[in-house]
Structure 1
Amino acid sequence: MIHRIIEWSVRNRVTVLVLAALLFGWGWYAVKTNPVDAIPDLSENQVIVFTEWMGRGPQLVEDQITYPLVTNLQGLPQIKYVRGSSMFGMSFIYVIFEDDTDIYWARERVLERLGTATRTLPEGVSPQLGPDGTGVGHILWYTLEAPGMDLGEQRALQDWYIKFALQNVKGVSEIASFGGFQPQYQVTADPNKLLYYGLTPADVIAAVRANNNESGGRKFEMSDIGYIIKTTGYLSSIADIEQIAVKTVNGVPVRVADVATVQMTGEPRLGIFDQNGEGERVGGIVVMRYGENAAEVIGRVKEQMKEVSRGLPANVKFDIVYDRGELIRESISSIKHTLIEEMIVVSLVVLIFLFHWRSALSILIQIPITLAASFILLNAFGISSNIMSLTGIALAIGVIVDNGIIMSENAYKHLSERYAQWQAGQKSQST
């Protein structure tokens, strides 16, 4: 078979050169379209389900949330295994699928199963799917430089303006906010006053919840004009909460202000984000979707940041604290220089030791064609251009040259033998 291929190639040199040129062109296009990243994505094909049940201990979360969800999610098609983790107020389920499973198909199957699994969970508990990103999807971290603005205002700016603007960028799965304070109304009940009025904390909670609502009415017609009747009952200030009546004693309402203190404060935090020892900062983490080109997504996010900056208050700007784009550029540049240097050195060695330009050319022409064709395979198998893959290509240059040298020496040996036989035949004829 190999002899036939060699024979056909020798007899059809133009066709072989045209096919090689087409292969090189296809490979060059693959080089341009291949995703670029600094590190390979070796994370598992997983779907994360997280559930909040604040105020409950890990054992209770394990018994009433994690265990029921794990048992219900087992048995999904193309699944490898299910792992669960419980902590204070939180439950995490990691559903690991086969490597060749489409991630969005897997998320749909998990979401379908959650529709039936939630029936066994406590009231008010709602499991949610994690972002469609990988373990190496954190491509950019940023903080806000906002002198003169308190942390609550910075967090509100991040959550209600910046986050929504950056989430619209193509390839971004999620913008995870961190730092600062999330404002909330806090009602602190006085146990002595509750005991005096014969109330419980549950009575105060029920009163606040019942008075923070709106209800609609029907259309009312008067003088041939239709009026839509509705109520406005949502709480909008501390005074609204303080005036809520919890119960009535001898015709006198007992308000929330009579048994509790209402204030605007931040949500309790488990930690802070400090930057360079200069104080707390507010910011966000850009999470990339599965299969996206990290370099392109980072570029689009930075362009969107320029647009978002126009709407920020005065003296407020972005400070990028982690940018994988710089790591990508430095890593790819280092490998690229190594490839170029290796190709030049190999070419010089082949030219010097063979000392025959036609033989050396037949060997050296294989290097760019083989390298270009390797990117075709990288795209076919969904492998990005990263440190590992490019280093493997660099190491393979020596193998490519070795094969060419062996084939050239073999051809030279056979030609020498045939030439010796031809010379012997010529001498015998002359004698």
Structure 2
Amino acid sequence: MFDKLIRFVLHQRLLVILATLIVAGAGLFAWKTLPVDAFPDVTNVQVMVLTDAPGLAPLDVEQQVTAPIELAMQGLPGVAQVRSLSKAALSQVIIVLEDGVDIYFARQLVFQRLQTAKEQLPDWAEPEMGPISTGLGEIYQYTLESDAHTPMELRTIQDWYITPQLRTIPGINEVNSFGGFVKQYHVLVDQNRLLKYGITLTDVLEAIERNNANAGGNFLVRGWEQAYVRSLGLIQGIEDIEGIVLEARDGAPVFLRDVAAVKLGPETRQGAVTRDGRGEAVAGMTIMLKDQNSKRVVEAVKKAIPKIQAGLPEGVKINTFYDRTELIQACIRTVGNALWQGGLLVIVVLFLFLGNLRAALVVALSLPLTAFIAFILMGSQGMTANLMSLGGLAIALGMIVDASIVVCENIARHLSERTGSGLSRLETTYEAVREVARPIVFAILTIIVVFLPLFSLQQMEGKMFRPLALTMCFAMVGSLLVSLTIVPVLSSFFVRGQAKGADNAVIRLVKRGYLPALDFALRRPKTLVAVAGALLAGSLALVPWLGTEFLPQLD
């Protein structure tokens, strides 16, 4: 099998080079289109049900709202856990499902159960499902700043002008607002006046509801035209509210202003937002839809911000304080620096130990080609480029070039030893590659098998470390393909043999220290085994004293 592959590769060198260029182009395209994030998303599959319970204490919220919803969610297909949190005026029920359950299917099941649960809930309770997002959904945050506008005005701009425009961006699931004061119209009823006119508070509420709507009156035909009849009743301001008629007494209307005072006021709030010690601020947070490319979504948000800014009132400024792309770029920059620095060190080390610049460059070429193949395989599996997946590529950097080093060095050795034998360069290259092909395959498969236990990890551990293991396996597969295809082809063109038995200065220096140590070890095998066994036993004895934690502390 390997003999036929190697012979085909060496007899179709132009085809192999063209195929390599195509793979390089496809790998570059895969890298450009690969979803990029800072970290792998370890959030489990969950659906959150939120219910407002104004005026209720936590115990009442639990008894009247949380408990019926939580009971209704028991027994759903694929449910792993149902947990809840009852706070003052708010009920939160979280349904955690098994990994692999489609989030949209899960939400459909939860929605069906909610219809059943509503029969057990108070009439005013309206449970709703939370956004389709994860713990990494907060991708862009900003504040509104102005010296000429009040916190209420800034909050109104945020809620009614900025938020609707940001929600139109593909990939944005929700825009949350914080700080400032939510604008409300407060109707302050005077109880004495209610008693005077014999009007109840319920009458006031119903009158306001009835008078805040438009109504249609069909249309009138005038010649060739239709004139639609409209009854305009939507409240536009304080004057409209004050002019609402509650009832008529002896032909005289009783207006709302006769029994109550109407004024602007803020919604009761539970907290505030400050920034840089300059007092209150209004903040906005964009939430990304689950499984979206955070880099692209953030770029779309940043592209839309200048357009939104242009339509804001004079003096109002959007000031960004969190941008996910900064973290993404920092992570990618860290891994990228590790890759090119590692590649440079590989070239230097190969040149020093092989003593052959051409062979070193051929081996170094296997690094980007292997990375391109890994990117193609990552894209086919729907993986994201993050700190763990690209970190796996950086970790595998030294192992990636092992197979290419063996192939290239063996070709150089055969070319040196068979000088004048009458064999062509292709035949010599074929024999050299065939000699090491089987050991290379088994060595790389052994390395891949070492990472297989990582695929057995489940839940958060699996989501954290599986991208690293997959990327390393993809890189090793890519290094195997490169070492048996393009490396022999390039070596047949560029690699030259050296004089027999001619070691370079670095190898001679290493041998000067290594050969005496090897001779010493071979003459005292029992002593060496005893020392190694003692070191092994001592290291195992230290294991119980080692601390354990899931992740190191991060600053």
- Larger mean CA deviation between 17-26 and 298-307 belongs to 17-26
CA distance in 2, matches of 1:414, 1:118: 80
What amino acid does structure 1 have at the position aligned with 2:51?
Answer: T
User: Is 2:97 the counterpart of 1:100?
Assistant: no
Q: How much has 1:418 moved relative to structure 2?
A: 11
1:29-428 maps to which residues of 2 (within 5 A)? Answer: 29-190=29-190, 201-202=201-202, 204-213=204-213, 231-242=231-242, 256-257=256-257, 260-356=260-356, 360=360, 363-405=363-405
Bigger strand fraction: 1
Distance 1:395 1:184, change over 3 A: same
CA distance in 1, matches of 2:136, 2:168: 20
Q: Which residue of 2 aligns with 1:428?
A: none
- Contact kept, 8 Å, 2:359 with 2:409, in 1: the verdict is no
Q: SS at the partner of 1:296? A: helix
- Larger mean CA deviation between 351-360 and 54-63 belongs to 351-360
TM-score where L is the length of structure 2: 0.66
Distance 1:363 1:147, change over 3 A: same
- Larger mean CA deviation between 410-419 and 112-121 belongs to 410-419
- Larger mean CA deviation between 71-80 and 155-164 belongs to 71-80
Q: Deviations over 1:286-308 (max 9, x none)?
A: 11112222222122112111111
Q: SS at the partner of 1:143? A: strand
- Larger mean CA deviation between 54-63 and 216-225 belongs to 216-225
CA distance in 1, matches of 2:306, 2:226: 48
- Larger mean CA deviation between 372-381 and 235-244 belongs to 235-244
CA distance in 1, matches of 2:329, 2:194: 64
Of structures 1 and 2, the one scoring higher in RCO (CA 8 A, sep 6+) is 1
Q: SS at the partner of 2:26? A: helix
Q: SS at the partner of 1:95? A: strand
What amino acid does structure 2 have at the position aligned with 1:388?
Answer: M
Q: How much has 1:382 moved relative to structure 2?
A: 2.5
Q: How much has 1:145 moved relative to structure 2?
A: 2.0
CA distance in 2, matches of 1:208, 1:113: 34
Q: Deviations over 1:15-52 (max 9, x none)?
A: 65555444333322211111122222221222222111
- Larger mean CA deviation between 355-364 and 174-183 belongs to 355-364
CA distance in 2, matches of 1:226, 1:294: 51
Distance 1:251 1:77, change over 3 A: same
CA distance in 2, matches of 1:63, 1:415: 84
Q: SS at the partner of 1:287? A: strand
Q: Deviations over 1:101-135 (max 9, x none)?
A: 33333333333433343333211322222222221
CA distance in 1, matches of 2:410, 2:228: 94
Q: How much has 1:354 moved relative to structure 2?
A: 2.2
Q: How much has 1:56 moved relative to structure 2?
A: 1.2
CA distance in 2, matches of 1:2, 1:71: 62
Q: How much has 1:325 moved relative to structure 2?
A: 1.6
Q: How much has 1:156 moved relative to structure 2?
A: 1.4
Bigger helix fraction: 2
Distance 1:19 1:216, change over 3 A: closer
Q: Deviations over 1:288-347 (max 9, x none)?
A: 112222222122112111111221111222111111222222221222122101001012
Q: Deviations over 1:347-379 (max 9, x none)?
A: 211222122456545643332222112212322
Q: Which residue of 2 aligns with 1:425?
A: none
Q: SS at the partner of 2:101? A: coil
Q: SS at the partner of 2:147? A: coil
Q: Which residue of 2 aligns with 1:424?
A: none
What amino acid does structure 1 have at the position aligned with 2:65?
Answer: I
What amino acid does structure 2 have at the position aligned with 1:353?
Answer: F
- Larger mean CA deviation between 130-139 and 69-78 belongs to 69-78
Q: Deviations over 1:160-194 (max 9, x none)?
A: 11111111112211111122111112233455666
What amino acid does structure 2 have at the position aligned with 1:274?
Answer: T
Distance 1:136 1:230, change over 3 A: same
Q: SS at the partner of 2:188? A: strand
Q: SS at the partner of 2:305? A: helix
Q: SS at the partner of 1:133? A: coil
Q: How much has 1:73 moved relative to structure 2?
A: 2.8
What amino acid does structure 1 have at the position aligned with 2:353?
Answer: F
CA distance in 2, matches of 1:162, 1:336: 36
Gaps of 5+ in 2: 420-555
Q: Deviations over 1:191-240 (max 9, x none)?
A: 56667777765454445445545555566899999886664444444344
CA distance in 1, matches of 2:391, 2:303: 31
CA distance in 2, matches of 1:221, 1:35: 59
CA distance in 2, matches of 1:17, 1:197: 95
Q: How much has 1:75 moved relative to structure 2?
A: 3.4
- Contact kept, 8 Å, 2:354 with 2:409, in 1: the verdict is no
Q: How much has 1:96 moved relative to structure 2?
A: 2.4
CA distance in 1, matches of 2:144, 2:127: 31
CA distance in 1, matches of 2:383, 2:97: 19
Q: Which residue of 1 aligns with 2:509?
A: none
Q: SS at the partner of 1:131? A: coil
CA distance in 2, matches of 1:90, 1:366: 58
Give the superposed CA RMSD.
Answer: 3.6
What amino acid does structure 2 have at the position aligned with 1:277?
Answer: G
CA distance in 2, matches of 1:194, 1:269: 29
Q: How much has 1:276 moved relative to structure 2?
A: 0.6
- Contact kept, 8 Å, 2:38 with 2:387, in 1: the verdict is yes
Q: Which residue of 1 aligns with 2:506?
A: none
Identity %: 39
Q: SS at the partner of 1:176? A: strand
